[in-house]
Structures are given as structure tokens and as C-alpha cells.
Amino acid sequence: MRWYDGYRLTGFPAGEHLGLPSQDLTVVLTIGEPLDLARAAAPGQQPGRFRALAGGLTTSPVTIAHDGNQHGIQLALTPAGARALLGVPAGALGAWVVDLEDVLGADARELQDRIAAAEEWPERFAVLDDVLGRLERRDRRAGGVEPRLARAWQQLTSPGSAGVRAVADDIGWSRRHLTGRFTAEYGVGPKDAARLARFDRSRRLLRTPGRHRLADVAVRAGFYDQAHLARDWRDLAGVPPSQWMDDEVFPIVQDGEPSTDGGSVT
């Protein structure tokens, strides 16, 4: 698991929140009102409401409808973390958002019920650590990501990543074999994994305080140039980065940034 964080967002204008693609899988445990998925990334998935959800890797955004308030815990899982905690490879989820109970069964119900009964963040996090620690110990016996696939993921998603052919040569597979095995494990192909990593880095850079020149962000995130960054934002987010910054009223949970629009986050 890369990180988890609790959030309580209140007093924001009602509207829609754009859930951007990421190199991590997403798990959300709501507290109080369920989460309204207005538009899914997976072709054919209909809107729905979730008390707790798990979402795989995708190259399209999701849209969350909200009334200006959100309360819950969000987790970011690496693909290896998904195997350890959810007991399935990222590829099993694909681009779908699923009810966490469909993946974890009774463990998901226990997690939701105990977190809902807890009144303070330390107590909620203790519940999370207890249940997830048990899941990790249990699922560790099932084995992790195949070492060559893990090495390919690390190489493709690191800054200054090598090309697909170079990675295939390094691990001793043909490019075609790597692409097939990689997609089955992760739910996205090698090129898309590299794109998601660059996109994720650019999003994090744009959320840091201060003014940002897109050309500088592009270089630091690993794009060829600003035009390359703009193309990937249109493809992966559906909007230019400047529009996303203007439209997004919710602080991004992992950024922990205060809002300037009258809402609050705790």
C-alpha cells in the first residue's frame, strides 16, 4: 500500500468531482453517505452508489457527483499491494469500480461496520491497520507479482523510464510476450503504465503551492515537452491541466491542501 488518509470535506459547492487516472488502485471507505459514481471509466459500467469500493487501473477519469460534502478514508494501493490486501491482481479489476464486498466478502463488511462505529480518526485508523494487517498476512501465502513483471513495472513507471523494447530485453522476454503478461497482471499495457506514471507526477507537481509553468512541469514529470503533456492530459483526464485546476474545488485527499472556496477539510 502506498498510503491511506482520512478526509472530511464540508461546505463546498455541490457538483461533480473528476477522479483522475493514477498508477495506483483506489479503495474508498465512506463514512455516512455513500459515494455516487456518476460516470465510470470502464465501458459499459453504469452509475452506482458505493459504501465501499475498489477501482482498478484505468486510462480514463471517473466522475463523482456530490452535494458539497464527502467523508471517508481513501487508500492508494500499488499493484503489489492489491495482490497483498485484496487477494487479486490489478488486472482482475480492469478499469471497473466494484463494491469492496465483492472482493473481500465478510472482511469488507467488518471493515465498514467497525469504521462506522468508531468516532475518532485514530480509532478508525487502528481498525484499518488491524483488518488490513490480517488480510496481508493471509494473502501473502498466495504469492506476489511474478518477479520479472514486478521489475518491468518498476522500470516503466520510474522517472526516466526505459522504453518497452528495452524493458523486454532486460527481463528476457519478447516485446509481445511482455505486453500480454503485463496487461493480464496489471490491467493496462506497458506503454499505458508509463503514461499513467508521468501523468501522476504532473498532477502532483501541479498541486504543489506556487505558480507553475507547464513547460517546467512537463520536463520534471518526464514528458518530451509541453505539447506532450497537453496531449496526455486531454487523453487521460479529458481536460487541459489548467481547466482541471480551475474546476476542481475539492482538495485532493493525499495533497492535504486547504481550500480557498469556503469549504473545509479535516
What are the boundaries of each domain within the chain?
3-143, 147-246
Mean pLDDT of the chain: 88
Residue-level pLDDT at 261: 31
Residue-level pLDDT at 259: 32
266 pLDDT tier (thresholds 50, 70, 90): very low
Residue-level pLDDT at 11: 86
pLDDT at 188 over 90: yes
pTM, whole model, 2 decimals?
0.88
Residue-level pLDDT at 253: 45
pLDDT at 71 over 70: yes
Element (DSSP H or E) covering residue 15: strand 15-19
pLDDT at 78 over 70: yes
Mean pLDDT over 50-66 rounds to 95
pLDDT at 257 over 60: no
Mean pLDDT over 102-131 rounds to 94
pLDDT at 232 over 70: yes
Mean pLDDT over 181-204 rounds to 95
Mean pLDDT over 19-27 rounds to 95
The CATH architecture annotation of domain 147-246 reads Orthogonal Bundle (1.10)
pLDDT at 37 over 70: yes
* Positive or negative: CA dihedral 25, 123, 138, 136: positive
Nearest-angstrom CA–CA distance, 180 and 196: 18
Give the percent of the chain with pLDDT over 90.
69
pLDDT at 251 over 90: no
User: What is the DSSP-derived secondary structure letter of residue 262?
Assistant: S
27 pLDDT tier (thresholds 50, 70, 90): very high
3-class DSSP string for 136-201? HHHHHHHCCCCHHHHHHHHHHHCCCCCCHHHHHHHHCCCHHHHHHHHHHHHCCCHHHHHHHHHHHH
Three-state SS at 104: helix
With CA atoms as reference, report the closest residue to 141 among 54, 83, 82: 83
As a CATH number, domain 3-143 is: 2.60.120
Nearest-angstrom CA–CA distance, 87 and 143: 9
Residue-level pLDDT at 130: 93
pLDDT at 258 over 60: no
Identify the residue whose cell numbers are 475539492: 250
Q: What is the pLDDT of residues 117-166, one digit of tens each?
A: 999 999 999 999 999 888 887 766 566 889 999 999 999 999 887 789 99
With CA atoms as reference, report the closest residue to 203 among 232, 183, 182: 232
